[in-house]
């Protein structure tokens, strides 16, 4: 009979109830052809069709032969069968034919299975010496089963079914046949986790072989090598991390499936090993032991509860690592049975970053207080610090702290620090330290110096060391209100009343201090000149007057003596005419003495 094109439609089904949202992949003659719930089109009678759930293509359905639409057909339940040495296998087929053809009722005359042809003749397995006593044909109701017992590896072959009828062209062979593989079971455990209902999650284990096994087989499930079930499907409500499962076919326990288990703690490493320098390339590796194979994911911890997902690969590459990349990384390995994780710490070495400087306590710094200067810099390994004041080194050490226990005004100035390790060094910005204090005892002065004369101009100056700068006030002794304000006090056209004690008070926000100045005012210039003239007269005229007085006194005494003698003479001679002369002489002498005085 000749093959012809005809239309057919296929649907993929499972013996267990699958979720409605699943999609399917369709294969025609082992080639992927379509996706969807069904597959339809025009096919040849020799075409074979199979399907699989998308994403689970390794678990494909058995191939199905397309049935002919002209009434003649041989279809096999499965076109690929696996069986084990020493076991028994059933190979099934269904055949159809027209009930009447050429005005003649169709009757089946012969049915048999074969694997060989000799001179165009198909050799019935029942006559093959290699199968003697090991094969049976179980046929009826258009179905025929080939049963082979005590299987051998040499029985692996393609088995075909043929039937003949009473019609002239009424013989048909199922052209595709059934491929029998006599081998080990090659079992696998398929794991599927259901998370559709968060309150009721479960895991389904399926004992599966890559080739089609007979339906009548029984299975044995093992948990940690102890039997726990005898179905093809095994459901788990809870899975402990230390549990492992595998399956086997009953009677073929020597061919168990590989064991499935949750991931063991991963092995993590960093490459290259050793010191990690900033700017280098670093690779983090994660390797986990799990079956099914685990999915590895890299994370970095950002805080107590903050985590950053980095990569869903077994390797994570930091092509140019930075100081901020230092920290704790961990890799999680997860499969359908559980998850596990392992940590690795990355330490990046680098030169110091620009230091930050601070002063404590902040705000105003009072003389006598305790002040701490702190220098800190991000560096790995930790930096050593050196403090400077105006480029003069003060302190060196790993702490970066410089303490002034009782600060003084002399400690004011510009400070800076240097941070260094074996990879580099860097200086901080400048820090200005301003120490504030109350005014020191003022220094007072008068200009001009020396004796101050009446009518002159005098300047009094007061100066005090203070921070902030002091304000100045002048007071005069015995006066309540200030005499003047300001650092300089000038008195013009001074008089004797300006003399006395003056007090300068220096004051700022932190205190005050005082100093006293005694101002003495002397006579003016005119008085001095008069005194000089008087002194000169006394020094010059007194001797002259004394000499003149002495001379005149001598003359007067001499004259007086002569007068007295004349008087005595006149009196002795009783000359009246000389009495007037004597009286006149005495009178003249008296006037002369008065003039002398």
pLDDT in tens, 427-476: 999 999 999 999 999 999 998 887 888 888 999 999 999 999 999 999 98
Q: Is 69 helix (H, G, I), strand (E, B) or coil?
A: coil
Residues 430 and 478 in one domain: no
Residues 272 and 344 in one domain: yes
**For residue 593, what pLDDT is reported?**
46
pLDDT bin (cut points 50, 70, 90) of residue 287 is very high
Radius of gyration of the chain (CA): 67
Q: Which helix (H) or strand (E) holds 505?
A: strand 500-508
**Average pLDDT of the residues in 385-400:** 89
Residue 99 falls inside a structural domain = yes
Residue 174 falls inside a structural domain = yes
pLDDT bin (cut points 50, 70, 90) of residue 29 is confident
Provide CB contacts within 8 A for 30, sequence distance 6+.
48, 50, 63
**For residue 395, what pLDDT is reported?**
85
**Average pLDDT of the residues in 144-162:** 93
In this prediction the pTM is 0.55
**Average pLDDT of the residues in 70-82:** 81
Residue 42 falls inside a structural domain = yes
Q: What is the mean pLDDT of the chain?
A: 83
Counting other chains too, the contacts that 576-581 makes at CB distance below 8 Å and 24 or more residues apart are none
Q: Above 90 in pLDDT, residue 396?
A: no
Q: Is 131 helix (H, G, I), strand (E, B) or coil?
A: helix
**Over the stretch 503-534, which tens digit does the pLDDT of each residue have?**
999 999 999 999 998 888 886 555 555 556 66
**Over the stretch 81-102, which tens digit does the pLDDT of each residue have?**
888 888 889 999 998 888 887 7
**For residue 4, what pLDDT is reported?**
45
Going by C-alpha positions, the residue among 479, 565, 460, 471 that lies closest to residue 518 is 460
pLDDT bin (cut points 50, 70, 90) of residue 578 is very low
Name 65's bridge partners: 48
What token pair was written down for 175? 């052209």
Going by C-alpha positions, the residue among 33, 31, 100, 113 that lies closest to residue 74 is 113
Going by C-alpha positions, the residue among 109, 212, 113 that lies closest to residue 165 is 109
Sign of the alpha-carbon dihedral angle for 213, 218, 222, 228: positive
- Residue 414's domain comprises 356-436
Q: Above 50 in pLDDT, residue 596?
A: no
How much of the chain, in percent, has pLDDT values that exceed 70?
84
Residue 533 falls inside a structural domain = no
Q: Above 70 in pLDDT, residue 535?
A: no
Cβ-contact 69, 43 below 8 angstroms? no
Residues 253 and 288 in one domain: no
How far apart, in whole angstroms, are the C-alpha atoms of residue 349 and residue 346? 10
Residues 152 and 207 in one domain: no
**For residue 386, what pLDDT is reported?**
95
**For residue 384, what pLDDT is reported?**
95
What token pair was written down for 413? 């100035």
Phi-psi group of 363: left, alpha or beta (phi > 0 → left; psi -120 to 50 → alpha; rest → beta): left
Provide CB contacts within 8 A for 315, sequence distance 6+.
283, 284, 285, 286
**For residue 572, what pLDDT is reported?**
57
Going by C-alpha positions, the residue among 351, 333, 350 that lies closest to residue 342 is 333
Domain count, the chain: 7
How far apart, in whole angstroms, are the C-alpha atoms of residue 372 and residue 411? 12
**Over the stretch 299-345, which tens digit does the pLDDT of each residue have?**
998 877 788 899 999 999 999 999 889 899 999 999 989 899 999 99
pLDDT bin (cut points 50, 70, 90) of residue 558 is low
**For residue 561, what pLDDT is reported?**
66
Pair type for strands 500-508 and 511-519: antiparallel
Residues 14 and 47 in one domain: yes
How far apart, in whole angstroms, are the C-alpha atoms of residue 109 and residue 60? 37
Residues 394 and 426 in one domain: yes
Residues 335 and 394 in one domain: no
Cβ-contact 175, 78 below 8 angstroms? no
What token pair was written down for 169? 């062209």
Residues 340 and 273 in one domain: yes
Provide CB contacts within 8 A for 492, sequence distance 6+.
457
Residue 536 falls inside a structural domain = no
How far apart, in whole angstroms, are the C-alpha atoms of residue 19 and residue 273? 49
**For residue 350, what pLDDT is reported?**
92
Q: Which helix (H) or strand (E) holds 204?
A: strand 202-209
Residue 529 falls inside a structural domain = no
- Final residue in a domain of this structure, among 35, 66, 97: 66
**Average pLDDT of the residues in 43-71:** 73
**For residue 528, what pLDDT is reported?**
52
Residue 527 falls inside a structural domain = no
**For residue 402, what pLDDT is reported?**
92
Q: What is the CATH number of the domain that holds 499?
A: 2.60.40.10
Burial code (b: 16+ CB inside 10 Å, e: under 16) for 336-368 equals bbbbbbbebebebbbbbeebebebeeeeebebe
**Over the stretch 190-249, which tens digit does the pLDDT of each residue have?**
888 876 666 667 888 988 887 777 777 889 999 999 998 888 888 887 778 889 999 998
Length of the chain: 597
Q: Above 70 in pLDDT, residue 592?
A: no
- Final residue in a domain of this structure, among 160, 183, 206: 183
How far apart, in whole angstroms, are the C-alpha atoms of residue 149 and residue 132? 11
Residues 96 and 10 in one domain: no
Residues 193 and 296 in one domain: no
Q: Above 50 in pLDDT, residue 1?
A: no
Residue 4 falls inside a structural domain = yes
Q: Above 50 in pLDDT, residue 33?
A: yes
Q: DSSP states of 418-458 as a string?
A: EEEETTEEEEPPPEEE-EEBPPPPPEEEEES-SPEETT--E
**Over the stretch 243-262, which tens digit does the pLDDT of each residue have?**
999 999 888 888 899 999 99
Q: DSSP states of 511-550 as a string?
A: EEEEEEEEE-EE--HHHHHHHHHHHHHHHHHHHHHHHHHH
φ, ψ of residue 225 to 5 degrees: the values are 70, 15
How far apart, in whole angstroms, are the C-alpha atoms of residue 160 and residue 146? 10
Residues 219 and 283 in one domain: no
Cβ-contact 117, 162 below 8 angstroms? no
Residues 468 and 515 in one domain: yes
- Final residue in a domain of this structure, among 118, 153, 183: 183
């Amino acid at each position: 009979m000749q093959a012809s094109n005809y239309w057919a439609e296929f649907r993929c089904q499972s013996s267990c109830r699958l979720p409605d949202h699943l999609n399917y992949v369709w294969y025609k003659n082992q080639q992927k052809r379509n996706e969807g719930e069904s597959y339809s089109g025009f096919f040849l009678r020799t075409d074979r069709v199979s399907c699989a759930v998308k994403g689970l293509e390794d678990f494909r359905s058995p191939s199905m032969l397309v049935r002919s639409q002209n009434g003649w057909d041989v279809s096999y339940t499965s076109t690929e069968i696996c069986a084990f040495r020493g076991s028994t296998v059933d190979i099934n087929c269904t055949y159809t034919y027209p009930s009447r053809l050429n005005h003649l009722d169709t009757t089946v005359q012969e049915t048999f299975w074969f694997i060989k042809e000799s001179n165009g003749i198909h050799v019935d397995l029942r006559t093959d010496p290699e199968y003697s006593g090991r094969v049976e044909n179980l046929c009826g109701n258009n179905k025929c089963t080939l049963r082979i017992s005590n299987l051998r590896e040499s029985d692996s072959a393609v088995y075909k079914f043929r039937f003949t009828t009473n019609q002239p062209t009424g013989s048909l062979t199922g052209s595709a046949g059934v491929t029998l593989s006599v081998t080990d079971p090659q079992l696998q455990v398929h794991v599927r986790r259901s998370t559709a209902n968060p309150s009721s999650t479960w895991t389904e284990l399926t004992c599966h072989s890559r080739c089609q096994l007979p339906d009548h087989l029984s299975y044995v499930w093992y948990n940690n090598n102890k039997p726990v079930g005898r179905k093809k499907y095994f459901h788990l409500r809870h899975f402990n991390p230390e549990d492992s499962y595998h399956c086997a076919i009953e009677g073929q326990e020597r061919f168990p499936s590989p064991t499935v288990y949750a991931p063991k703690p991963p092995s993590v490493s960093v490459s290259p090993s050793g010191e990690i320098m900033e700017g280098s390339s670093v690779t983090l590796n994660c390797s986990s032991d799990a079956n099914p194979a685990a999915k590895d994911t890299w994370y970095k911890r950002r805080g107590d509860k903050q985590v950053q997902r980095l990569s869903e690969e077994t390797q994570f590459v930091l092509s140019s690592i930075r100081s901020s990349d230092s920290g704790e990384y961990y890799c999680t390995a997860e499969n359908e049975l559980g998850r596990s994780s392992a940590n690795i710490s990355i330490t990046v070495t680098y030169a110091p970053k620009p230091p930050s400087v601070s002063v404590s306590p902040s705000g105003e710094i009072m003389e006598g207080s305790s002040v701490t200067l702190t220098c800190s810099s991000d560096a790995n390994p930790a930096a050593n610090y050196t403090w400077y004041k105006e480029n003069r080194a003060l302190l060196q050490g790993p702490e970066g702290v410089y303490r002034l226990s009782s600060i003084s005004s002399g400690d004011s100035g510009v400070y800076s620090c240097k941070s260094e390790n074996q990879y580099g060094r860097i200086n901080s910005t400048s820090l200005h330290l301003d120490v504030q204090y109350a005014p020191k005892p003022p220094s007072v002065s008068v200009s001009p110096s020396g004796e101050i004369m009446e009518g002159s101009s005098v300047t009094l100056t007061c100066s005090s060391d203070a921070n902030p700068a002091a304000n100045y006030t002048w007071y005069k002794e015995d006066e309540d209100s200030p005499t003047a304000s300001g650092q300089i006090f000038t008195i013009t056209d001074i008089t004797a009343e300006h003399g006395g004690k003056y007090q300068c008070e220096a004051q700022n926000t932190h205190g005050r201090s005082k100093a006293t100045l005694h101002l003495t005012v002397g006579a003016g210039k005119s008085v001095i000149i008069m005194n000089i003239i008087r002194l000169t007269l006394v020094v010059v005229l007194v001797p002259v007057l004394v000499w003149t007085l002495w001379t005149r006194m001598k003359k007067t005494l001499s004259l007086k003596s002569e007068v007295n003698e004349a008087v005595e003479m006149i009196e002795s001679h009783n000359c009246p005419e000389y009495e007037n002369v004597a009286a006149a002489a005495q009178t003249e002498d008296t006037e002369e003495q008065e003039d002398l005085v």
